[in-house]
A and B are shown apart, each in its own frame.
Chain A
């Protein structure tokens, strides 16, 4: 029953997109409002159909309906309820269905929000979104069909990959990443629409900026959660390994970030349009590339699924979109903006933005070439090679430092050229904060050049950012006699995007410093203790209290308990475990971490010898790791502030404000 219903829903979704695509193109070319309305309604229809299909699949998973192909593949009667829910995205076919659902959601919201506005670009944008929808619906209906019928239905299933059952983050990380990934379709469609229509006006640019911020925010959260999951679940003590799939999520984030900055230049100076739109297109294309890398089996990765027929189909679609985008940009770029005046002088904000774009482009290219090079090398020489952490760390360090530097310098410089002396004066406070930060770093025991440079430049950038945040509030408070708090609130309300952006910058700086310090000064020791025995690792005293077996329906866990104290003070018990899943041979470890503001104590169980009553455990002391996640939170807060929809100003309010530049702002 469900296979049939599900399949029907998917086919309806495919039909909706196909009709939406055709009517969208007709609406664009013929400027027909009737066709436009059809296209919009098809977007709602696609949303309905894909939601129905997803709902049916979740129902099948929760009721253990093993007559459905996908449920037979990843379902199980012995897994907890939350695992049954998240099995939807645990394997290939289900995750494509999730993609279609999220796409439907974004499509529907986009269609609704553009109703009656932007008549020139909206039809093209809707057509483009439907085009992407057709592809994914086709995948779910055909190659990656999760609704196949299994007859006779088996009594039970193997359950999803045990690594995915280990932690609750499995619930949040993939949906966040999907909201980011799939959400990039909308800015892509908007950018393509601008090119198709040959018109990129201020209103569309503003809408495009906002539509980029939302998936960008989710992508940021998704990436950070992925790092957190890697840290808490995989047991190696790290959070980023430049795994091909990690890189796949990072590259679109880089181009999207470059876009957010480049768009500011585009908005103010009406320049760099071609480059900025190319960034939008590149972001979406990189999400396609990323999905291809995860699903084709071509890349060796923690995430990769085995090779399936989906690979060539995906590559085909990716190829069409890549070539199509190049043609589109080449055809339209000259019509978009003939350069009117030269870009600004060397010590201006424009230059900082351009430098920022260059660094981000270099970064994206580095990650791309590093990830793809093993394939290239094998194609040419037939030999297999690896490109891993040593390469990426080495190449990204100078780029990262450059970006942090620009984060400090950029906000301080004004648009246009600045007089030398004034520029230097603005840098006084940031310079002081840089020195203070450097001092703190040295006091904290950091000796590596890279780490100290990161700390010093982050201090510099932090000083500049705080200055930029406080000064306007102070100026306003002084001019209007308001309290500083009120002034700050008012300033925040009036310039949300800018201050949201500054908050995001602060988050990035926190992460930069935490990452540099944690990576450079983590200490790893392996200890073997007999039951009752103790040892000293750094400031911590560890006592092995014994191991016990824990039986759950889907796994048997060996839990080793360690009493922990620091400088005499009792800190409790940490219990890392080894999980034996019924369906897998080797045990999978789950570490336990005690997080502190200054450092984390990380225990990863290696093995337990029941005969000798001993346990071997890796003990890692990792400084500042908590600040990574905190920085992620700050970035999210900043994104929310920046993306929060403002009350639309009416013309009457705008006019007096514009006229009152020298007067008191209302």
Chain B
């Protein structure tokens, strides 16, 4: 039996890299949304709270900022809500500013939710999700921790816990 070397070589050249590439995919989450903005200056914005007062991001420098994008129809947002409230209580006293940003939702839905579950920090309205897009938000909940100088130190995708927030905020204080 004689081996056709051309066929063998061509075949292996096609097959072995293919297996290698497929194997390289293990251990990696193909759905992972990249954290592009970490380390970069947070985009500037001016939004109003539900009570009507304007908030400008560039005026918030000097203290760490926690920016939480959420909505009432999002199940994990409800799960993380008490954690955020607790963090706001503990770290708000130490100078950290907390803001919620409503994502694709209405104040009419948010107000009863906050009345029922507590709101220790203001919620900003982002009517056409323009600021969310500026921050590269793909869905809710997403939470951004800003350095006092305005840089995005950390972006959480999915619900955050008190421990998550502590771990990032402590070194900033």
Contacts and interface: CB of A to CB of B under 8 A. Distances in A.
Do any CB atoms of chain A lie under 8 A from CB atoms of chain B in the complex?
A: yes
Interface of A: 274, 289, 292, 296-300, 304, 307, 311-312, 315, 318-319, 322-323, 325-327, 329-335, 372, 374-376, 378-379, 383-384, 585-586, 611
Given A298-B22, A299-B25, A334-B2, A585 B74 contact: yes
Nearest to B15: A322
Given A311-B26, A375-B25, A326 B1 contact: no
Given A322-B15, A376-B21, A611-B108, A330 B30 contact: no
A329 B7 contact: yes
Q: Choose among B22, B30, B75, B76 the residue with the greatest number of A CB atoms under 10 Å from its CB.
A: B22
Binding site secondary structure of chain B? helix
Contact of B22 (A292, A323, A325, A586): A292
A326 B22 CA distance: 18
B24 A307 contact: no
Given A330-B11, A332-B1, A378-B25, 4 more contacts: A298-B28, A330-B8, A333-B7, A374-B30
29 contacts: A296-B26, A297-B30, A298-B30, A299-B25, A315-B19, A315-B23, A318-B19, A322-B19, A323-B16, A326-B7, A329-B4, A329-B7, A330-B3, A330-B7, A331-B1, A332-B1, A333-B7, A335-B1, A372-B18, A372-B21, A374-B30, A375-B22, A376-B21, A378-B24, A379-B24, A379-B25, A384-B30, A384-B32, A611-B108
Interface of B: 1-5, 7-8, 11-12, 15-16, 18-26, 28, 30-32, 34, 73-76, 108
A298 B27 CA distance: 8
B28 A326 contact: no
A586 B72 CA distance: 11
A626 B7 CA distance: 45
Contacts of B3: 330-331
Binding site secondary structure of chain A? helix
Contacts of B28: 298, 378
B15 A296 contact: no
Contacts of A376: 21
B31 A315 contact: no
A615 to B, nearest CB: 16
Contacts of A292: 22
Given A326-B15, A329-B11, A330-B7, A300 B21 contact: no
Contact of A326 (B11, B21, B30, B31): B11
A329 B2 CA distance: 11
Contact of A330 (B4, B16, B19): B4
A27 to B, nearest CB: 21
Contact of A384 (B4, B8, B12, B34): B34
Q: Choose among A307, A330, A335, A379 the residue with the greatest number of B CB atoms under 10 Å from its CB.
A: A330
A124 to B, nearest CB: 15
B4 A333 contact: yes
Nearest to B11: A326
Contact of B5 (A304, A330, A335, A383): A330
A8 to B, nearest CB: 32
B18 A322 contact: yes
A196 to B, nearest CB: 11
A329 B5 CA distance: 11
A300 B33 CA distance: 12
B4 A323 contact: no
Given A327-B8, A331-B1, A375 B19 contact: no
Contacts of B16: 323
A323 B1 CA distance: 18
Given A330-B7, A330-B8, A372-B18, A307 B26 contact: yes
Q: Choose among B16, B30, B73, B108 the residue with the greatest number of A CB atoms under 10 Å from its CB.
A: B30
The 9 closest A-B pairs by CB, nearest first: A326-B11, A298-B25, A300-B30, A585-B75, A330-B8, A379-B24, A330-B7, A322-B15, A319-B19
